[in-house]
Amino acid sequence: MNVVPPKVTTVISAELFEGTTIKRDSTCSRRRMPRNSPVQSLPMCLYHVDPCNDPRWPRFLDRCPDASVFHTRGWLEALRRTYGYKPVVYTTSAPGTELVNGQAFCRIDSWLTGCRLVSVPFSDHAAVLMDGAAHFESLLSCLQEEVDNKKWRYVDLRPVGGELAVPARFRTSDAFYHHKLSLDMDLDTILRSFHKNCIQRKIRRAAHENLDYTEGRSEVLIGQFYLLLTLTQHRHRIPPQPISWFRNLAACLGDAMKIRIASRNGRPIAGIVTLSTKNSMIYKYGGSDSKYHKLGGIPFLLWKAIQEAKACGFAELDMGRTDCKNSGLVAFKERWGATRSTLMYWRYPASITASPRRWEFKAAQRIFALMPASALPAAGRLLYRHIG
């Protein structure tokens, strides 16, 4: 008669933070299996790692082809400094060994939206970096136990679209379109692939207007971009993230972040923020003065970013996520020739359906619409730390 082997268990056996002694849980020892068992299985341990202090984390990301800027120490540290989130990585790699896998999260403690784990706040996506089905299943089991035992509201995962099926006991919490522009052609071919009227014409108009171009991470550029972002968010009835977020991104990401500003006669009219990682440049934030839209400031800046990305050998421009109902933004990205896929975010427990992001964009929009643009940054400082 066949004997069913014991179920692989997941335990949180240690927390690896600076100055913390590592103790391995006794339940992680090898379990003797019946001789006639068809499968020899070991219980699996998961460890907590502080990605902002453990030197193994950046080394692991350098080796991992699926890692993005949203996994990096810089992004996580900027979240910690700006919003007080607590970064943590779950891994099966024991203390003292190099990491072979790991999934980054931030713990958000909010009296408004509850305590929860998010991988990763304000990111477009955070690919699953757990190697093998067994390790991934252990991660999911561990997350479920953490939520249940610690009474957290939920845990969110933001995998790259289509890489994995939605696991049991999780549900799809949000869906977005994700656009990427391939840069495997020469620049002339890329330019000709853009929509002739909506993109190519505006790039030519910007050149005709002799728009000034400035790039960097200085306090002056942060201030110029933030003013443009505030104007844009006011048009969409959304408060901007606090200016400290962009200052901290500049400080923590360094050369991986760049602000690009288009100006006319010394007046900033459009600005974007791009992030660089491995073989990809990411268009993350944008803002503009609507009075100068006809001058083509945003297309001008994106074309500058594409030229730089091509020169640096990047394979793609990641144009980020878009709400599936935002037909205008979807059309704008696809006029660049970007390819569309779908991002599906996961949540446990499956019974949790309300999203603080949805609350922000729907219930509060009427209030934000009545605010002057100058009042929106204060609202953003109050609200964004609860959203993630």
Q: Do residues 292 and 183 share a domain?
A: yes
Largest CA distance in the chain: 85
Tell me, yes or no, whether 197 lies in a domain.
yes
Sign of CA dihedral 14, 122, 177, 192: negative
Q: How many domains does the chain have?
A: 2
Tell me, yes or no, whether 388 lies in a domain.
no
pLDDT at 210 over 50: yes
Radius of gyration of the chain (CA): 23
Q: Do residues 329 and 202 share a domain?
A: yes
pLDDT at 361 over 60: no
pLDDT at 306 over 60: yes
Q: Mean pLDDT across the chain, nearest whole number?
A: 86
Q: Do residues 109 and 199 share a domain?
A: no
Q: Name the E strands within 162-305.
A: 171-182, 212-216, 257-264, 267-277, 280-288
Q: Do residues 25 and 101 share a domain?
A: yes
Tell me, yes or no, whether 2 lies in a domain.
no
Tell me, yes or no, whether 32 lies in a domain.
yes
Q: Do residues 337 and 237 share a domain?
A: yes
pLDDT digits 0-9 by tens, 23-33: 333 333 333 33
Distances (CA, A) of 303 to 168, 291, 372: 43, 21, 32
Q: Do residues 314 and 183 share a domain?
A: yes
Instruction: Give the pLDDT band (50/70/90) at residue 131.
Output: confident
pLDDT at 3 over 50: no
pLDDT at 359 over 70: no
Pick 232 or 1 by higher pLDDT.
Answer: 232
Domain harbouring 254, CATH code = 3.40.630.30
Q: Quick one: average pLDDT of 332-361?
A: 80
Q: Quick one: average pLDDT of 262-266?
A: 97
Q: Quick one: average pLDDT of 145-167?
A: 87
What is the spatial distance between Cα 251 and Cα 80, in angstroms, rounded to a whole number?
13
Q: Do residues 259 and 136 share a domain?
A: no
User: What confidence score (pLDDT) does residue 358 get?
Assistant: 52
Q: Do residues 189 and 335 share a domain?
A: yes
Lookup: tokens for 194: 């853009």
User: What confidence score (pLDDT) does residue 14 get?
Assistant: 38
215, 261 contact by CB (below 8 A): yes
Instruction: Give the pLDDT band (50/70/90) at residue 377.
Output: confident
Tell me, yes or no, whether 262 lies in a domain.
yes
Domain harbouring 41, CATH code = 3.40.630
Q: Do residues 54 and 197 share a domain?
A: no
pLDDT at 335 over 90: yes
What is the spatial distance between Cα 140 and Cα 137, in angstroms, rounded to a whole number?
5
Tell me, yes or no, whether 167 lies in a domain.
no
Q: Do residues 216 and 259 share a domain?
A: yes
- Residue 288 three-state SS: strand
Pick 382 or 310 by higher pLDDT.
Answer: 310
pLDDT digits 0-9 by tens, 248-262: 999 999 999 999 999
Exposure letters 251-276 (e unless 16+ CB within 10 A, then b): ebbeebbbbbbbbbeeebbbbbbbbb
User: What confidence score (pLDDT) does residue 309 get?
Assistant: 98
Lookup: tokens for 189: 């071919």
Domain hosting 256: range is 179-342
Q: Quick one: average pLDDT of 52-58?
A: 97
Sign of CA dihedral 101, 245, 313, 344: positive
Q: Name the E strands within 183-295.
A: 212-216, 257-264, 267-277, 280-288
Q: Do residues 245 and 108 share a domain?
A: no
Domain boundary, last residue among 127, 158, 189: 158
Q: Quick one: average pLDDT of 175-203?
A: 97
Q: Do residues 127 and 247 share a domain?
A: no
pLDDT at 42 over 60: no
